[in-house]
Chain A
Amino acid sequence: MNIISGWGSRVRGLFADTKGPWGSGSGSGSGGGSEPPPDDGQGAGPWGEPPRKRRAGLNPAANVASLDELLRKRLRFGGGGGGGGGLPTRPSGALIFWAVLGFIALWLVFTSIHSISPGQRGVVLRFGRYSSTLGPGVGITLPSPIDRVTKIDVENIRNIDLGSDDANDLMLTGDQNLIDIAYQVRWNIRTPELYLFQLAQPDETIREVAESAMRSVVSRVSLNDAMGDRRAEIEAQVAESMQRILDSYRAGIQVQGIAIKQADPPAAVNDAFKQVTASQQKAQSYINGANAYALQLRQKAQGDATAFDKVYEQYKLAPEVTRRRMYYETMEQVLSKVDKTIIEAPGITPYLPLPQVQKSTQQQEAQQ
């Protein structure tokens, strides 16, 4: 208490000082020594108002000897209804009283009624301690210095993009290959009070947990799986693993999903991967050719066999006749289209000018 009384006397001294605290005209304020420093912003508001006004009015009157003299001076000026000593202050005092009252009423209204939009929750702190969470709609709390409301978006789904911007950001897969993965984490706040009070850096935490979970899942699968059809499975595993870790921190965060936007081999070995694709195409074309051949061959076999069967059916009805008929028909067809020579005597064959015969045939054909 010694200190306070000491301060009190110091304050008194200040006011009594003939120079006056504002004598220098610097206007650095009376606050210097007497006003306790911090955190009374709200509290000082209504009550701090009147003196501040006077202070403003004071500045022009530079060399006043004392407060009373000052007040008298102001009265003489008769300026805009300011207060003063003695009787004349009473009506304006009432004015101040009503102004303060109105201010307080407004204050109460504005700081105790909160409208919370559908996607939001309002976390209410009573003197810094968490007291409740307001749902959407209009929420009523105690006025400001007592209750404070922090509005938090819970429905809004936030995105974090990870990976791949940096060319060196490669992940190791289970078969010790490297893969270049870019993915997105979607999340929202499930429990606003946990989100606010549990983690020092929630966003950074989500990012790190996502990276850790993704790398640990990728390290369990092979490169081909990660690039190919097990992507969906990886996404689900990462989301599940992230959720488990964040829950263990009680982060109040719901992981909505992971989307792998890109999973490619590193640029340095991309050509080799393209080669694989090319040889897959080539192998497929081999197989296609073989299939075409097989189809053709089978059809031909079917056709030949069926034709034979048909003829054979007829042949069985009259074998000898059919056989002769086919023989003659074939011979007709063949012999009518070729040059024929019939030779009676045996042994003459070597002397036949066969090349000439052939030549003449060719000439005939050429003429045709």
Chain B
Amino acid sequence: MDFIHRRPLMAAGLLVLLLGLLLSAFPIIPETKQAVVVRFGKPVAVLNQFEAGRPIGAAGAGISFRIPFIDQIVWIDKRVQDVDMQRQQVISTDQRRLEVDAFARYRIVDPLLMYIRAGTEAQLTEQLRPILGSEVRNELGRIEFAQLLTPERQGIMDSVRTSLNKIARQYGVEVLDVRIKRTDLPDGAPLSAAFDRMRTAREQEARSILAEGGKQAQIIRAQADADAARVYAASFGKDPDFYDFYRAMQSYQITFIGDGQEKASPTTIVLSPQNDYLKEFSGRPR
């Protein structure tokens, strides 16, 4: 107590120093990080290492211990990271080109190995990116263009993942997933050819739709004609002789008088007294 009163500034300084020492001796390891403890350049321990299936908060993160000033901590992310492949051109077995974007998700499962082999996370990404690119190109180059677009694509990506994983393991990295983000036709000739094909396909479709419509219209008309014929036959067929007479009467009216909408052209009829209509003119012999 006396020391504090006599030398307050110094006491405070010492206190702060002590606190700093304490804090640096007991580093706090966050959930999101793994820590490699390096003593004079030599890794001695790994803290909060990722373990598959261990629930969050189970163990690992939290307060830890190191020897101040001697042990350095290298922080390495524990979370799932992603690496994007540079967009590149893939040539399928049938010599067609496709621009492909892919990405991989990975996690550093062995931070020590990763620290030794790659150094920093940035360097790791730089090393994984070209590997991912070449794996994707190799795998996709083995198949036909049409297959790239079909469900089988997933199987292809699995094999990319497997082969990428083999390499990534050497860096203490586990690849969780590789996916194609985009597959596009390259600009220029392939794209315009695709547009042309689409355009002509549409034109073809338009014409066939028209032809189909015309055909249907024809069928509808013919069916109606047939139906009408059937109705007529059913009705008139009961007495063809009377129909002939009945229809003749109608026909005369329409021919000489008109059908009610249009008047018939003027007609002159020359009749002979022998005509059946005039038979009574001569006086019927009884």
Contact = CB atoms under 8 A, between A and B. Distances in A.
Contacts of B216: 283, 286-287, 290
B249 A326 contact: yes
Contacts, number: 332
A272 B203 contact: yes
A271 B203 CA distance: 10
Contacts of A204: 82
| Prevailing SS type, chain A contact patch | helix
A286 B214 contact: yes
Given A129-B57, A276-B205, A330 B238 contact: no
A339 interface: yes
Contacts of B31: 125, 128-130, 196-197
Nearest to A68: B6
Contacts of B21: 4, 36
Given A204-B82, A339-B268, A30 B5 contact: no
Interface in A8-46: 8, 11-12, 15, 30, 34-40, 43-44
A276 B209 contact: yes
A176 B145 CA distance: 10
A176 B194 contact: yes
| Prevailing SS type, chain B contact patch | helix
B79 interface: yes
A304 B181 contact: no
B82 A294 contact: no
Nearest to A273: B202
Contacts of B272: 342-344, 346
Contact of A215 (B181, B236, B249): B181
Interface stretch (B112-120, B167-175, B220-228): B220-228
Interface string B193-217: 0110111111101110110111011
A43 B56 contact: no
A47 interface: yes
A354 B69 CA distance: 138
A76 interface: no
Interface residues of A, number: 128
B269 interface: yes
Contacts of B45: none
Contacts of B184: 168, 170, 172
A248 B161 CA distance: 14
Nearest to A205: B82
A116 interface: no
Contacts of A362: 266
Interface in A156-211: 168, 170, 172-174, 176-178, 193-194, 196-201, 204-205, 208-209, 211
Interface in A65-104: 67, 83, 85, 89
B252 interface: yes
B44 interface: no
- Interface residue tally of chain B, by bracket? 35 or more
Nearest to A251: B80
Interface string B170-191: 0000001101111111010000
A313 B31 CA distance: 101
B146 A308 contact: no
Contacts of B56: 130, 193-194, 197-198
B12 A301 contact: no
A267 B1 CA distance: 84
Nearest to A223: B198
B245 interface: yes
A180 B117 CA distance: 44
B3 to A, nearest CB: 12
A84 to B, nearest CB: 10
A34 B242 contact: no
B60 A129 contact: yes
Interface in A201-237: 201, 204-205, 208-209, 211-212, 215-216, 219-220, 223
Interface in B13-50: 13-17, 19-21, 23-24, 28-32
B19 A335 contact: no
A361 B256 contact: no
B51 interface: no
Contacts of B80: 198-200, 205, 249, 251
Contact of A128 (B30, B105, B212, B277): B30
Interface in A240-264: 245, 248-249, 251
Given A200-B80, A305-B235, A279 B210 contact: yes
Contacts of A305: 231-232, 234-236
Contact of A176 (B7, B20, B149, B217): B149
Contact of B220 (A131, A284, A287, A326): A287
Nearest to A357: B268
Interface of B: 5-10, 12-17, 19-21, 23-24, 28-32, 56-57, 60-63, 69, 77-82, 103, 105, 146, 149-151, 153-154, 176-177, 179-185, 187, 194-195, 197-203, 205-207, 209-210, 212-214, 216-221, 223-225, 227-229, 231-232, 234-236, 238-239, 242-243, 245-246, 249, 252-253, 256-257, 266-273, 277-278
9 contacts: A3-B69, A43-B19, A127-B61, A129-B57, A130-B57, A172-B183, A287-B217, A333-B253, A342-B270
Given A177-B194, A278-B206, A330-B249, 15 more contacts: A35-B16, A44-B16, A47-B19, A128-B31, A176-B194, A219-B183, A248-B176, A272-B200, A279-B206, A294-B224, A305-B232, A331-B252, A333-B257, A335-B269, A349-B270
